[in-house]
């Protein structure tokens, strides 16, 4: 089964699924939501570190960051961590990458505004959401994002994009998700885990698909003007292909009796990171199961407009979501 791309259909689909920003209308009620954002750029003080004394002062001035992001307590002593920071801050390669990150994200107010709109959407759906203080940093490509109720750290060096001197050491199909455009979706998907409830035992293919689908649906609701391709990290061609062949993809899961498979190895093939899923077709992108889960969740929410995002995220019953979605995509011939 070949995932065919029909030129005329593809062009139309790209317009509706990849260019939301052209037709997106923001809910005016979201603008009323109070979601103050505090951003502190730590790249400057970090790259001013020259010795142990400077490093210790940096750690003392940013204790929450040191404890939670740098995991200060995991080091034998503060001296050891301080020494590691000195080596990083004085590394010429990292300094170059830091300048590139600073240049790409030099407009702090723009980043602040984008994060504020994201947080406003989250608080619109989840009023108790606590907006954490945001720190930007250059981690040396060690961790892209950290977020909890008390702190968010964004490592800007991950998101510079293809022009960066150094890029994350990951496969190309993951690397393409490390660009400036993917920063906010990465944040949104991370925040979704706070609300995405799921069964911790007896995981099936279906439960994993729906769990990922709920996270992607959360991201599209809090980033309503972000193209689907950016949210899930598919290329435009991949997104067009899976959408056109949705019925065939779904038929594969049914015909192979995959929905209730509990093998972590098998589940990983369809929802985990891979360049492609040749079990379906060599053109089928990795994580295609997550994309199908997204479509199931979308259909469920269309069928049940009274269900809130909070109620959806709290629903652990993947079978219930599938049944009530009436998800039956037609198989194209």
pLDDT along the chain (333 residues), means of 10: 36 41 76 97 98 98 98 96 98 98 97 98 98 97 96 98 97 97 98 95 94 98 97 97 97 98 97 97 97 98 98 98 97 73
Residue 135 and residue 274 in one domain: no
Decide if 333 is inside a domain: no
Non-local (6+) Cβ contacts of 215 within 8 A are 189, 192, 193, 196
Residue 51 and residue 172 in one domain: yes
Helix axes 205-222, 318-325, angle to 10 degrees: 70
Position 331 scores a pLDDT of: 82
Residue 105 and residue 202 in one domain: no
Token digits of residue 311: 């109620």
Position 205 scores a pLDDT of: 98
Position 200 scores a pLDDT of: 85
Residue 149 and residue 247 in one domain: no
Decide if 204 is inside a domain: yes
Residue 163 and residue 229 in one domain: no
Domain termination residue (choose one: 125, 155, 180): 180
| Residue in the block written with tokens 């709920």 | 214
Decide if 57 is inside a domain: yes
Query: How many domains does the chain divide into?
Result: 2
Decide if 1 is inside a domain: no
Position 1 scores a pLDDT of: 41
Residue 147 and residue 237 in one domain: no
Domain termination residue (choose one: 117, 146, 180): 180
Which residue range is the domain that position 241 belongs to?
Answer: 7-25+196-325
Position 24 scores a pLDDT of: 77
Decide if 330 is inside a domain: no
Torsion, CA 73, CA 78, CA 80, CA 86, rounded to 10? 120
Position 333 scores a pLDDT of: 63
Q: What is the maximum span of the chain, computed from C-alpha positions, in angstroms?
A: 69
The whole-angstrom separation of Cα 100 and Cα 158 is: 11
Residue 287 and residue 230 in one domain: yes
Domain termination residue (choose one: 154, 180, 206): 180
* SS3 track for the chain: CCCCCCHHHHHHHHHHHCCHHHHCCCCCCHHHCCCCCCEEECHHHHHCCCCHHHHHHHHHHCHHHHHHCCCHHHCCCHHHHHHHHHHHHCCHHHHHHHHHHHHHCCCHHHHHHHHHHHHHHHHHHCCCCCCCCEEEECCCCCCCEEECCCCEEEEHHHHCCCCCCCCCCCCHHHHCCCCHHHHHHHHHHHHHCCCCCCCCCCCCHHHHHHHHHHHHHHHHHHCCCCCHHHHHCCCHHHHHHHHHCHHHHHHHHHHCCCCCCCCHHHHHHHHCCCCEECCCEEEEECCHHHHHHHHHHHHHHHHCCCCCHHHHHHCCCHHHHHHHHCCCCCCCC
Decide if 37 is inside a domain: yes
What digits encode the pLDDT tens for the residues 41-95?
999 999 999 999 999 999 999 999 999 999 999 999 999 999 999 999 999 999 9
Residue 90 and residue 51 in one domain: yes
Residue 136 and residue 168 in one domain: yes
Decide if 111 is inside a domain: yes
Residue 237 and residue 302 in one domain: yes
Residue 54 and residue 152 in one domain: yes
Position 332 scores a pLDDT of: 75
Nearest to 294 by CA among 221, 200, 187: 221
Decide if 232 is inside a domain: yes
Residue 215 and residue 236 in one domain: yes
Predicted model pTM = 0.92
């Amino acid at each position: 089964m070949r995932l065919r791309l029909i030129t005329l259909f593809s062009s139309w689909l790209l317009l509706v699924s990849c260019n939301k920003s052209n037709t997106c209308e923001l809910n005016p009620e979201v603008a009323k939501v109070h979601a103050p954002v505090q951003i502190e750029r730590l790249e400057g003080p970090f790259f001013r570190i020259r010795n142990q004394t400077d490093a210790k002062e940096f750690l003392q001035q940013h204790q929450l960051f040191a404890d939670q992001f740098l995991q200060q307590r995991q080091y034998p002593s503060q001296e050891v961590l301080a020494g590691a920071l000195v080596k990083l801050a004085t590394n010429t390669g990292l300094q170059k990458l830091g300048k590139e990150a600073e240049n790409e994200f030099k407009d702090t107010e723009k980043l602040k505004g984008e994060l504020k709109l994201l947080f406003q959407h989250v608080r619109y759906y989840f009023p108790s959401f606590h907006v954490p203080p945001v720190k930007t940093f250059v981690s040396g490509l060690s961790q892209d994002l950290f977020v909890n109720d008390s702190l968010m750290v964004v490592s800007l060096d991950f998101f510079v994009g293809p022009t960066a001197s150094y890029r994350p050491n990951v496969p190309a199909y993951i690397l393409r998700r490390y660009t400036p455009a993917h920063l906010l979706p990465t944040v949104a998907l991370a925040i979704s885990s706070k609300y995405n409830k799921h069964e911790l035992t007896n995981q099936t293919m279906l439960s994993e698909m729906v769990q990922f689908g709920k996270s992607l649906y959360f991201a599209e609701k809090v980033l309503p003007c972000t193209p689907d391709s950016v949210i899930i990290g598919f290329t435009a061609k991949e997104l067009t292909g899976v959408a056109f062949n949705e019925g065939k993809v779904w038929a594969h899961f049914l015909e192979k009796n995959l929905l209730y498979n509990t093998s972590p190895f098998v589940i990983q093939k369809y929802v985990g990171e891979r360049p492609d899923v040749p079990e379906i077709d060599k053109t089928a992108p990795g994580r295609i199961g997550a994309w199908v889960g997204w479509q199931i969740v979308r259909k469920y929410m269309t069928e049940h407009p009274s269900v809130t995002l909070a109620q959806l995220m709290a629903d652990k019953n993947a079978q219930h979501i599938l049944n009530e979605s009436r998800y039956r995509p037609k198989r194209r011939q």
